[in-house]
Amino acid sequence: MTAFRMRCAALAEHPKFTMVIITLIIFNAILIGLETYPSIYNRHMDWFVFLDQLLLWLFTFEIIIRLIGSASLKSFFKEPWNIFDFIIVASGHLFVGGHYVTVLRILRVLRVLRAISIIPSLRKMVNALLMTIPSMGTIMLLLGIFFYIYGIIGTTLFQTISPEYFGTLHASLLSLFQVVTLESWASGVMRPILAEDPTSWWFFVTFILIGTFVIFNLFVGVVVTNVEEANQAEKPSPEEVKLVQVQKELEEIKRMLQEQNKKSK
């Protein structure tokens, strides 16, 4: 059993096996995308059902190999991606053919995200984004307070002038989101209101200056800083480089001493 587990572990960690699984995941995503076209799906429904079942069982086979190859069930489920894959595959067997099959197909598309673990540059970006989460929480809180204040002001001032944009608080927040992204904010939102209330310019100008040019730049600054920290974390420090050089020199001296001992004998 130990030998079989070692073979499964070697297979699960083999680069070709990983590439095959990633290829199947991408093929599964393409298949689900084609199913959104009724003209294609209705014409080849039997093939879609067959391929969907085949992929589900291939993914099940992958999970079984990884389960057997892992040191224990606890170590397997310590990996978040393993939990994610296990839930998707298990749910597919529980509800296949039922009402939730569309949702499960959408969830299987998310398996494409596993490609992140193969591409180093993507992995580096994900690490940087994960490091950004604590700082993002503070910035999101600041942005939420800022949006809420301007949403109440906009609803109070422009509720009667432009009810489609500022008629309610949630409509105002959605309009402010459009404004902060600079998507048709002048011609679509500000100009009609400015024609009715010439003093409304201050509301939009101050909102864009603070929201777009200050708070959004905080997001960019935090991400860039964490990307640089992630790059530095992956690069060895000068002390580590020097330690490796010293170890190589010691190994060379040890080898030379061994050769001299052999010659003296």
For residue 175, pLDDT beyond 70: yes
pLDDT of 223 > 80? The answer is no
Among 73-77, 86-90, 192-196, where is mean pLDDT lowest? Answer: 86-90
Domain boundary among 73, 92, 118: 118
The verdict on 8 and 114 lying in the same domain is: yes
Do residue 132 and residue 112 come from a single domain? no
Return the percentage of the chain with pLDDT > 70, whole number.
79
Q: Are residues 54 and 91 in the same domain?
A: yes
What pLDDT was estimated at residue 204?
93
Higher per-residue confidence, 13 vs 237:
13
pLDDT digits (tens, 9 = 90+) for 51-66: 888 888 888 888 888 8
Same domain, 7 and 85: yes
End residue of a domain, out of 69, 94, 118: 118
| Shared domain check, 141 and 87 | no
pLDDT at 158: 92
Helical H segments across 114-237, by residue range: 120-158, 163-166, 169-180, 191-196, 201-210, 216-234
Amino acid type, 188: G
Q: Contacts for 185-191 with beta carbons within 8 Å, 24 or more apart?
A: 189/162, 189/165
Whether 130 and 209 share a structural domain: yes
Mean pLDDT of 74-90: 77
Question: For residue 165, how many other CB atoms are within 10 A of its CB?
Answer: 22
User: Within this chain, do residues 226 and 126 fall inside the same structural domain, yes or no?
Assistant: yes
Structural domain tally of the chain? 3
pLDDT band at 213 (very low <50, low <70, confident <90, very high): confident
CATH, residue 94: 1.20.120.350
pLDDT of 242-260, one tens digit each? 666 767 777 777 777 777 7
- Average pLDDT, integer, range 140-148: 89
* Same-domain status, 134 and 96: no
Looking at the structure, tell me whether residues 161 and 222 fall in a common domain: yes
18 near 75, Cβ under 8 Å?
Answer: no
pLDDT, mean of residues 222-226: 77
Query: Which residue among 81, 103, 118 closes a domain?
Result: 118
Please report the pLDDT score of residue 111 as a whole number: 63
Residue with the bigger pLDDT between 163 and 100: it is 163
Average pLDDT of the chain is 79
pLDDT of residue 201: 92
Q: Are residues 227 and 133 in the same domain?
A: yes
Please indicate whether residue 157 or residue 74 has the higher confidence score (pLDDT): 157
Q: Per residue in 19-62, pLDDT tens? A: 888 888 888 878 877 877 888 888 988 888 888 888 888 888 88
Identify whether the C-beta of residue 164 lies closer than 8 Å to the C-beta of residue 175. no
Q: Tell me which residue range forms the domain holding 79.
A: 2-118
Q: Are residues 173 and 261 in the same domain?
A: no
CA angle 237, 240, 245 (to 5 degrees): 130
Same domain, 175 and 246: no
Residue 151: what pLDDT?
A: 94
Residue 127: CATH number of its domain:
1.10.287.70
